[in-house]
Amino acid sequence: MNVEWDGSAAGPRCVVAVVGPTATGKSDLALDLAKALSGQVPAEIVNADAYQLYRGMDVGTAKVPVAERRGVAHHQLDVLDPIEDASVARYQSAARRDLDDIAGRGARAVVVGGSGLYVRALLDHLDFPGTDPRVRARLEDRAEAEGSRALYDELLERDPAAAGSIGPRNTRRLVRALEVIAITGRPYTANLPRQEYVRPAVQIGLDCDRQVLDARVAHRVERMWEGGLEQEVRSLASPEQGGVGAGLGATAARAVGYAELLAAWHGELTADEAREAIVANTRRLARKQMGWFGRDPRVRWLDAGSPTLLDDALALVRAADAGSLPEPAAEPVRRSLGS
């Protein structure tokens, strides 16, 4: 169906965000929306997938090839080298500039991605306190000498909500929480994102039956394998730079599909085991993503397999522009993957 935006809605053109688990078709819907919405004003896409920020990580992240982007401008793709560590704060600054520039051109922004924290950082009020190397070093030394339980006990006393969320075993997050408290003089939870948009926005979530999504994941991994995932990871790992993994930084090397193949090349998995692990870990990622977005009552969920998906999404955008979206439920609706 060739659907075009009729431009009849009054009010500001809100930012449209397409969110949800991997393999539900977010990129396709974002492109469909961008083309349909361009009937009134141009629409441009802003990536909110942490790993699609990386140059060369194309097959393993299901990045839409340039030739298939239908002439729609894309932002926040291929902006980092794989050796660099990604930063949510840096992404927030750069992507918000993109939103400002898009609005300045009189265009519409369509955000798409499954990295929940990146979506929240872009759309919501979320501050990122700085770091203090001396404070962090002191806390890391304490963790090494006293164990993470000592840091947990201190956090439990100073910010019980943060301690309950982090738990006693996540040393990295315990260090960061206590560092933020030391720097700001406020509880760590005071710096967590508020469910409050910094500009008008509507989040459209793609829901999918668990069995259907599991099959989609398996098919996606098969396509990636046939599309050269092994060769891509080997090229990025750059043996010329000193061995497998030398060309991938700590962040990029953790990506599903890349981590498993690196483990195989280090002799920790066979090739078949690596492939099976990619499927299993992608399914696990999808459930984690659904858990994240499912806790946000502002997400308007649509069936990823619906034949009227685009029309339904356009209706949500029209209502959001007109300020007529119904208020979100007091409690978020648990979606199929969250059950």
Helices (H), the chain: 26-37, 88-104, 116-123, 133-146, 148-158, 160-166, 171-184, 210-226, 229-237, 258-265, 271-294, 309-322
Decide if 296 contacts 195 (C-beta within 8 A): yes
Q: Which of 320, 328, 305 is nearest to 5 (CA)?
A: 320
171 annotated binding-site participant:
no
Tokens of 10: 């009054």
27 annotated binding-site participant:
yes
DSSP annotation of 243 reads S
Name the residue type at position 48: A
308 annotated binding-site participant:
no
163 annotated binding-site participant:
no
Pairwise CA distance, residues 52 & 56, whole Å: 9
Decide if 36 contacts 1 (C-beta within 8 A): no
297 annotated binding-site participant:
no
Number of H helices, E strands in the chain: 12, 6
**On the CB side of 30, how many CA atoms lie within 13 Å of its CA?**
34
CA-based Rg of the chain, rounded to a whole angstrom? 21
20 annotated binding-site participant:
yes
288 annotated binding-site participant:
no
Note the residue count of the chain: 339
160 annotated binding-site participant:
no
DSSP annotation of 257 reads T
Binding residues: 20-27
Binding residues for ATP: 20-27
Binding residues for substrate: 22-27
